[in-house]
Amino acid sequence: MVALIFYALLIQWLILPVTPKLVTHDNSFFPDYVLRVTSRNISVACETRLSAVVNGTSPGPELRIKPGETTWIRVYNDLESQNLTMHWHGLSQRSQWPIPPGHFFDYELRTQPSDSGTYFYHSHVGMQALTAAGPLIVEDCGKQPYRYDEERILQWSDFFPQTDEELQSGLEAVPFVFGGETRAVLLNGKGIGIGQNLSEVCGSCTLPVIDVTPGKTYRFRFIGSTGLSLISLAFEGHNKLTIIQVDGGEWTQPVSVSRMQLGSGQRFDALFKAKTKQELEAEKRTTYFLQFETRDRPAIYRGYAVLRYSKSAPLPKYPVKTPLSLPNVTYDWLEYQLQPLHPEPMGHPTLTEVTRRVTIDSVQMIDPTTNHLIWRLANLSWTENTVHRPLLVDIYQHGEAAMPDYGAALSNHGWDPKTRAFPAKVGEVLEIVLQNTGSLVNSGGAVDVHPFHAHGQHFYDIGSGNGSYDAEANEEKLVRMGYKAVRRDTTMLYRYSTVTNPGAPAGWRAWRIRVNQPGVWLIHCHTLQHMVMGG
C-alpha cells in the first residue's frame, strides 16, 4: 500500500474568476534561494543514518525572507527514487503535484506584513521530514512591540536509526511493525542517543550548545520539527521565559512561563534574559543545562543542551544527576492564557456566529478490508493504493464539475464521499471540533496525543478539555474570562488518561474560522507516523 500524503481536506468553496497561469522560467531566471534535497549518510546522535538532507545538512539552511514581498525558492529533487514536496509550514500554500526524482519546482511565496514570525520548511512525503527540514524566518516589519538584543533558533527533531523507507514500510505492513520510540531528541541537529557510552561521546555525539552574552535579552525561536515527540523543556538556573509570539504572525500579550512545551509543528517565540556578570560571579558558573524530555509516550527520552556564557568555558560532561524535575502533566500548559497583543476589532467568532460545526473524531482501528492498522478522521482514513490527480489540479482543469458535493457532505460526517473532501462555503463560520477517542484495536482503548495542523488560513483556538465538547459550557468560560483567542496553525489534541473504553470520548480541541480564503487546504495530525497511517 502506498500512503499518499493527503489528509482530511478543508475545501473553501469558490470558483476563482481568473484561471491561474503556469509560470515558466527561462535560463535568465535566478531564484532567491536554491534548495537541493539529496540522500546521504549523516553522522548524528552517535550513529550513521541514510537520510534525506537539504543542501547537504540536517537541519537545512536557515531561510530569511522579507514580509510584503515575493520570494522564489527553487527546490531540486535529487533523490534517486522518491518523490518530494516542500511545505512552508505556517504560510498559506496551495497543494501541488509531487516533484519527481531529477526535477525541480519553483515555489512562489507571497508574504504579508502580518506574516512576520517563525516558521519552518519540511518535506511532505513519507518520513522525509525527520531530516529534510530547516528554519524559515519572515523578518520583522516596522516597529516591534518587544525589544531584544539578539536571537537564537532552537529547532527540535527526532532521531530514528531506521531509514525513512524502513519506518514507513513497517507502518504499512500487515501485521503492523512500529519503528519504536525516538532514539534521541536533537537540538539543531545534535544530541546523544539512548544507550550510548557517555564517557566516550564526541563528534556527532556532543551536547548541543547555546551561546549567550551576560546581560543581554534574547529572542528564542522554538521550532517543533519532531516527527513523534511532544517535548517539555526548561533551563537550569533560569526560571522565566516570556512568550511573545506563537505559530508566526500573531504577537501575543506577554506570558511568563518557567518551562516550554513543544509539539510537532508548533512554534513559540520567547524572550530570555541572560544573567548578568555579577550574577554569574556570585554563582561561580558560566554554563547551565537545558533539560528536555518527551511526554505522553510509553518510554521517556531525557536529553540536555548547554547554555554557555563564555565560549572559552569548558563544556560540562553529561550530568549524572538530573538537574531539574519537569512535570508529567501536559494538557494544562498555557490553555486559555495566550491572547493577542493587538486584538482584531471583530475578535474570534462567538458561538452565536457559528453557522456549522464539523466534528472530526480521531480513531485508531484495523481496516476491515485490508487489515492495516490505520488512523481514521471523521470516519475517513486517507490512504490510497493508486495515484490520483490532486483535487486542486482537478478543479482547475474541470471547474465546478470537480468540486465536492456540499449537500452530500452535510449528511456524511462533513465530507463528500466522491472527492473525500470537507467542503465549506466562503462566508461560513465553522467550528471544527477535534475529538480524541479510545483505540478500537484489540478492544484496548489506548489514547494518544495528536498535534493537529491546518494548512492555509490560521484558525482561532478556543480551547480544549477532557471528555466530549460542550459548546455552551466552553462559550460561557470564554465570556467569563474575557478571553480573546489567538490565531494558530498547530495545536495539541491532548490525552487525559492513557487508556479508556474503546471508542469512548477522551478529550477535545476546538477551533473557529471565518472562511475567507478559497483553496484546498490540508488538516492533519503532524505526527509523521499517524500521517502515513491515514491521519
Average pLDDT, stretch 2-6? Answer: 25
Which residues constitute the domain of residue 370?
351-532
Instruction: Measure CA 389 to chain center.
Output: 26
Cis (ω within 30 of 0) for the bond into 113?
Answer: no
Rg (CA), the chain: 23
Is residue 129 domain-resident? yes
Among 247, 152, 325, smallest CA distance to 488 is for 247
Q: Is the dihedral of CA 119, 124, 130, 134 positive or negative?
A: negative
Is residue 13 domain-resident? no
- In this structure, the answer to whether residues 173 and 299 fall within a common structural domain is yes
Q: Are 423 and 391 in contact (CB under 8 A)?
A: no
Q: Is the dihedral of CA 199, 204, 210, 211 positive or negative?
A: positive
Is residue 223 domain-resident? yes
Domain count, the chain: 3
pTM metric for this prediction: 0.95
Model confidence at 22, pLDDT cuts 50, 70, 90, reads low
- In this structure, the answer to whether residues 137 and 162 fall within a common structural domain is no
> Which residues contact residue 110 at a Cβ distance below 8 angstroms, ignoring those fewer than 6 apart?
69, 70
- 331-353 pLDDT, tens digit per residue, is 999 999 999 999 999 999 999 99
- In this structure, the answer to whether residues 372 and 272 fall within a common structural domain is no
Is residue 324 domain-resident? no
Position 396 scores a pLDDT of: 83
Is residue 313 domain-resident? no
Domain boundary among 143, 170, 202: 143
- In this structure, the answer to whether residues 382 and 454 fall within a common structural domain is yes
- In this structure, the answer to whether residues 456 and 483 fall within a common structural domain is yes
Position 2 scores a pLDDT of: 21
For residue 504, pLDDT beyond 70: yes
In angstroms, the Cα distances linking 3 to 194, 366, 533 are 30, 15, 7
- In this structure, the answer to whether residues 489 and 364 fall within a common structural domain is yes
For residue 390, pLDDT beyond 90: no
Model confidence at 429, pLDDT cuts 50, 70, 90, reads very high
Tell me the C-alpha distance between 396 and 24, whole Å.
Answer: 18
Q: Which helix (H) or strand (E) holds 185?
A: strand 184-187
CATH number of the domain residue 60 falls in? 2.60.40.420
Is residue 204 domain-resident? yes
- In this structure, the answer to whether residues 410 and 519 fall within a common structural domain is yes
pLDDT, mean over the chain: 92
Is residue 430 domain-resident? yes
- In this structure, the answer to whether residues 516 and 395 fall within a common structural domain is yes
